[in-house]
Structure 1
Amino acid sequence: MSRLPLRRRAVRGTALLAAALVITSCGGSGSSDDTAAEGTDPATGSSDAFPVTVETAFGDVTVPEEPTRVVALGWGDAEMALALGVQPVGASDWLGFGGEGVGPWAEGLYDEVPAIIETLEPSLEAIAALDPDLILDTKSPATEERYQALSAIAPTISQPVGTDPYIVPFEEQLDLVGQALGKTEEAEEVAAEVDEAFAAAAEAHPEFDGTEVAVAAYTAEGFGAYVSGDSRVDFMEQLGFVNKPAIEELATDSFYVPVSEEQLPLLDADLTVAFPIFVEASEITDNPLWQAIPSVQAGNAAVLDDETLTNAFSIGTPQGIQYALDNAVPQFADTLG
């Protein structure tokens, strides 16, 4: 099986911090009453695969029969299921897309719009009303309380062993979802396709290989830089970039290193990538301290000011990754060029 290389898993910050920094826009807290999904007859996995037992951070979970009513609560879980041909009857809209609750790169994959479930505090009543036989919650606050409450409704697949809230590498999330749905072969095929897409992009841009990169975000609290283990840094490393060692050296037990205004030169690299979270991109580009960073002055900085692209760059699903490869890679190449 071809897989993306595993990265160091690093995050033990609070769920609130993760929700603000991992998720680029968290507007998806709608009620399941907004979009009913009664009568949905989703595509499902292979009944021959069941029962299956999935190892998770909260213990082994057995899915006794082929699930026909899946609720996808974790960040990206719905898109993962859709990539495997399974349509959840309920899903959380972490990035506030509206409609089907998925990015534009995954629109049209539903036959019926799923019920939209709250994100950080999902309604147990709304979930139970959907009569699920499987709940996917692989990328979430991942608390014991949340897991136990969901497990009382249906078998619940939480994050993998050894990972922390929200930070689940693409290939591990896909593998968990594939196991739970009885779609392991399909998951392997999707992983291989993503692997090949990265390889093709890297081959088309040999200038990326070994190039030092700094990936940053700006919020109302200021700047910060991502470290290995975060999906955006993993994305860059798959293309051949090397996350700036000086940033990696500051990593402790979080995926994100706060960068004070006095420390902004830390973001200087062969390529500096930054994007806004809950603020306008102009708050980055108009900042005199940002403008003073050597890589910015040299024209080697890319500010991702398109929210759709930023979401795709961040979400770490097969569809989002492909969208980011198609749209972010040319921007990185132009910046370096």
Structure 2
Amino acid sequence: MRPLRTALAIFAATLALGACGTTEAPTGQAAAPADAPAAGPVTVTDGRGKQITLDKPATKVVGLEWGEVEMLVSLGVMPAGVADVKGYGTWVTAAKLDATVKDVGNRSEPSVDSIAALQPDLILMEANGNSALIAQLEKFAPVLVAKASDTADNLGRMRADFNMIATAVGKTDVATKVLADFDAALDEGKRKIAAAGAAGKKFVMADGYQEGSTISIRMFGQGALVSDVAARLGLANAWTGKVDKAWGLGNTDVEGLTALKDGDVRFFYNASDGVDVFAEGLAGNAIWKSLPFVAAKQVNRLPNGIWTFGGPRSCAQYADALVKAYTG
């Protein structure tokens, strides 16, 4: 597949801190602007509808979910602490963390003591119903809760979360530029797909999990963030199975994939942790091999480290992978 010289590739190369690997930053990349936050108090309304007022833009921030951490780094603010630093390095390559970032435990159960020890002036987390944790954290620092997903308009929600964080850290000018470049890149990607005669082509996106001989498949349906990105490029999500209302995700198995009868569907999947269920776990499965998109060799593994629940940079990486698949 030949290199695609689109605005998407330019966007990813110039903005990403570590988009091409989990350990090495590519040469020739430009770091996000590191201008000092504006002085003075700032007020933002978070995903709970709660108004948060800071005496000045936050500079020492702890992030408990990777999407918001990516956004923070994209704005030029390196967090003091992050939940599951190692996992972030595996699944998120769009905005690399410095070695100075402290690990504060698991995303599902972060260490309150570790967070408190860092003395942050702001804690970022997602709206996940964990009100007990929020109450604990608010005892020693303001907590900004991002909405994280909205199947009614996930691209719009992503932009809103990004702008909210930018306001809290005094980086609204940076956010405006990042989002403008992102929109321009998507426009160019859509033009390239249309020029290749691929406008309106159908796709599906999935994650795979294997436990013993049992393989489970998580589908990204209508309303998922990556589905919105693909739609913005002029593609159509072929998955019509049941999905949840919060994330646009649904569960199936290999038999469930037989519902995808259109021979023109292209299948994308993520295996950043190195466990490739589709290439290895299903290699000898007769049902898998009989699926139209498998027979047509229209199965695409995403490059490692594209976080499918991320901010502008991860969305740009995902869009770039789609454009390359349809135009390469």
TM-score normalised by structure 2 residue count: 0.74
1:84, distance to aligned residue in structure 2 (A): 1.2
Equivalent position amino acid for 2:200 in 1: G
From 67, 71, 76, the equivalent of 1:76 is 67
> Which residue is equivalent to 1:256?
249
Give distance in 2, aligned partners of 1:322 and 1:56. Answer: 24
Mapping of 1:171-250 within 5 angstroms?
Answer: 171-206=159-194, 207-220=197-210, 221-244=215-238, 247-248=239-240, 250=242
1:155, distance to aligned residue in structure 2 (A): 0.8
Mapping of 1:72-111 within 5 angstroms?
Answer: 72-93=63-84, 96-98=87-89, 103-107=92-96, 110=98
Mapping of 1:48-59 within 5 angstroms?
Answer: 48=40, 50-57=41-48, 59=50
For the 8 Å contact 2:59–2:169, the answer to whether it is kept is: no
From 39, 48, 58, the equivalent of 1:47 is 39
Deviation string for 1:86-142 (max 9, x for gaps)? 1211122367145xx8844423x74x621122221111111111111111113x644
Q: What is the CA RMSD across the aligned residues, in angstroms?
A: 2.9
For the 8 Å contact 1:213–1:273, the answer to whether it is kept is: yes
Equivalent position amino acid for 1:171 in 2: R
For the 8 Å contact 1:76–1:316, the answer to whether it is kept is: yes
> Which residue is equivalent to 1:7?
none
Deviation string for 1:194-226 (max 9, x for gaps)? 111111111112134211222222212422321
> Which residue is equivalent to 2:139?
152
Give distance in 1, aligned partners of 2:323 and 2:282. Answer: 21
1:315, distance to aligned residue in structure 2 (A): 4.0
For the 8 Å contact 2:66–2:88, the answer to whether it is kept is: no
1:230, distance to aligned residue in structure 2 (A): 1.7
Question: Which stretch shows the higher mean deviation, 119-128 or 170-179?
Answer: 170-179
What secondary structure does 1:128 align onto? Answer: helix
Sequence identity of aligned pairs in percent?
Answer: 24
Give distance in 2, aligned partners of 1:52 and 1:153. Answer: 18
What secondary structure does 2:222 align onto? Answer: coil
For the 8 Å contact 2:39–2:57, the answer to whether it is kept is: yes
From 273, 287, 298, the equivalent of 1:289 is 287
1:268, distance to aligned residue in structure 2 (A): 4.0
> Which residue is equivalent to 1:170?
158
Equivalent position amino acid for 1:191 in 2: L
1:151, distance to aligned residue in structure 2 (A): 1.6
Equivalent position amino acid for 2:226 in 1: R
1:299, distance to aligned residue in structure 2 (A): 2.7
For structure 1, the 5+ residue unaligned runs are 1-41
For the 8 Å contact 2:70–2:310, the answer to whether it is kept is: no
Give distance in 1, aligned partners of 2:59 and 2:148. Answer: 26
Question: Which stretch shows the higher mean deviation, 314-323 or 181-190?
Answer: 314-323
What secondary structure does 1:121 align onto? Answer: coil
1:181, distance to aligned residue in structure 2 (A): 1.4
Deviation string for 1:139-167 (max 9, x for gaps)? x6442112222222211111239859xx8
> Which residue is equivalent to 1:135?
123
Give distance in 2, aligned partners of 1:44 and 1:91. Answer: 22
TM-score normalised by structure 1 residue count: 0.72
What secondary structure does 1:113 align onto? Answer: coil
* Distance change >3 Å, CA 243–CA 328, structure 1 → 2: closer
* Distance change >3 Å, CA 93–CA 333, structure 1 → 2: farther
For the 8 Å contact 2:202–2:265, the answer to whether it is kept is: yes
1:47, distance to aligned residue in structure 2 (A): 1.3
Give distance in 1, aligned partners of 2:289 and 2:251. Answer: 19
For the 8 Å contact 1:80–1:318, the answer to whether it is kept is: yes
Mapping of 1:291-306 within 5 angstroms?
Answer: 291-304=289-302, 306=303
For the 8 Å contact 1:90–1:127, the answer to whether it is kept is: yes
Equivalent position amino acid for 1:152 in 2: K
For the 8 Å contact 1:157–1:176, the answer to whether it is kept is: no
Give distance in 1, aligned partners of 2:183 and 2:307. Answer: 16
For structure 2, the 5+ residue unaligned runs are 1-33
Equivalent position amino acid for 2:306 in 1: A
Deviation string for 1:174-197 (max 9, x for gaps)? 122112112223212211111111
How many matched pairs?
A: 279
